[in-house]
């Protein structure tokens, strides 16, 4: 069987580790040529090496999504390296966790610059190429934002702004054949592993609140779902939020 994403070209921001790494691995496994970007060259190289060892085509671009020039460079390098852009995954996002009353303007600036503004800039830069290939955009939301979890004010504001942007883009870009969707993952990234290991009581409560009883695997649970989402198998879905969190946000 031919891989579902053979001939497609993808850019994954924050692709060197965690959920971004899992998505990049899964896209490459389905035949996509993948560019991964991020601020840390060593993690990008490690992920690129793993993709290449599995037989995938991959390039890396070092840059900060909080800088518009860097974002435009990521898109331009993707097109230069592989000749186009069909899939844009806006994964990179800085996070701040503190009570609402203690949340500062600087916290909001950090989360907005790395989240909705970075997503906005990448989508604008990618639009001409997505038009040419009737492409797909996947933006990363958060179940913490959907639920309104305590101490996540700045992060939740940024992630819900991304969901609003996604719905507008789905309406405006649908006539070009471009699909724009959100995924909200709950995955056992290295950061999540470290946090849960340091807070065993919290870990127990988190797992108790997930009907499937476990955190998602960044590649197998999140990455493969994103690969399916951007494939022709999901060609009639746009403007949607896909909750990849094991049922964590189910309402009673």
The per-residue pLDDT for range 3-57, each reduced to its tens digit, is 999 999 999 999 999 999 999 999 999 999 999 999 999 999 999 999 999 999 9
Q: How far is CA 46 from the centre of its chain?
A: 19
Active-site position among 112, 155, 176, 236 = 155
pLDDT number for residue 101: 98
CATH 3.40.50.720 fits 9-233, yes or no: yes
Whether the pLDDT of residue 144 is over 50: the answer is yes
> Residue 196 contacts by C-beta under 8 Å, 6 or more apart in sequence?
188, 202, 203, 206, 215
pLDDT number for residue 252: 39
pLDDT number for residue 12: 99
DSSP state of 152: B
C-alpha 142/C-alpha 156 separation (Å) is: 7
Among 177, 160, 155, smallest CA distance to 232 is for 177
Q: How many CB atoms lie within 10 A of CB 60?
A: 22
Q: What percent of the chain has pLDDT over 70?
A: 98
Among 224, 215, 202, smallest CA distance to 247 is for 215
Is residue 112 annotated as part of the catalytic site, yes or no?
A: no
Residue 183's pLDDT band (boundaries 50, 70, 90)?
A: very high
E strand or H helix that includes residue 181 = strand 179-185
Contact 36, 74 (CB under 8 A): no
pLDDT number for residue 123: 99
Contact 20, 89 (CB under 8 A): yes
pLDDT number for residue 150: 93
Residue 251's pLDDT band (boundaries 50, 70, 90)?
A: low
E strand or H helix that includes residue 203 = helix 200-208
| pLDDT tens-digit map of 71-101 | 999 999 999 999 999 999 999 999 999 999 9
At residue 217, the 3 state secondary structure works out as coil
At residue 193, the 3 state secondary structure works out as helix
């Amino acid at each position: 069987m031919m891989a579902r994403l053979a001939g497609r070209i993808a850019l994954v921001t924050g692709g060197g580790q965690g959920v971004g790494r899992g998505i990049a691995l899964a896209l490459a496994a389905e035949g996509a040529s993948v560019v991964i970007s991020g601020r840390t060259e060593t993690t990008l190289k490690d992920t690129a090496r793993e993709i290449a060892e599995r037989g995938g085509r991959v390039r890396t671009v070092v840059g900060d999504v909080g800088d518009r020039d860097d974002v435009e460079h990521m898109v331009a390098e993707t097109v230069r390296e592989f000749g186009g852009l069909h899939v844009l995954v806006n994964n990179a996002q800085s996070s701040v966790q503190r009570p609402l009353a203690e949340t500062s303007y600087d916290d909001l600036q950090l989360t907005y610059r790395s989240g909705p503004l970075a997503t906005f800039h990448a989508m604008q830069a990618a639009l001409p190429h997505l038009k040419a290939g009737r492409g797909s955009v996947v933006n990363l939301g958060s179940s913490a934002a959907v639920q309104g979890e305590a101490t996540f004010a700045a992060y939740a504001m940024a992630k819900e702004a991304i969901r609003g942007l996604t719905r507008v883009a789905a309406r405006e870009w649908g006539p070009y054949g471009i699909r724009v969707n959100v995924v909200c993952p709950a995955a056992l990234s290295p950061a999540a592993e470290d946090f849960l290991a340091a807070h065993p009581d919290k870990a127990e409560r988190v797992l108790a609140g997930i009907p499937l009883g476990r955190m998602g695997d960044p590649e197998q649970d999140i990455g493969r779902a994103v690969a399916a989402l951007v494939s022709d198998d999901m060609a009639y879905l746009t403007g949607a939020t896909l909750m990849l969190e094991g049922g964590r946000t189910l309402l009673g």
